[in-house]
Amino acid sequence: MWRSIAAALVVGLLSSPASLRAEGFNSLLAGINGVLTAPADIVHETIEPPSLFEELPAAPVSTHFLGVFAGIFAAIDRIGWGVLDIALSPVWIAPTLSPEPVVEIIPFYEVRYDPGPLI
Cα of first residue to Cα of last residue in the chain, in angstroms, is: 43
Looking at every residue in the chain, the average pLDDT score rounds to 78
pLDDT surpassing 90 at residue 79: yes
By CB atoms closer than 10 A (0-12, 13-18, 19+), residue 9 is: exposed
Mean pLDDT of 69-78: 90
Greater confidence (87 vs 16) lies with 87
Task: Give whichever of 16-20, 25-29, 52-56, 103-107 has the largest mean pLDDT.
Answer: 25-29
Domain boundaries, the chain: 17-111
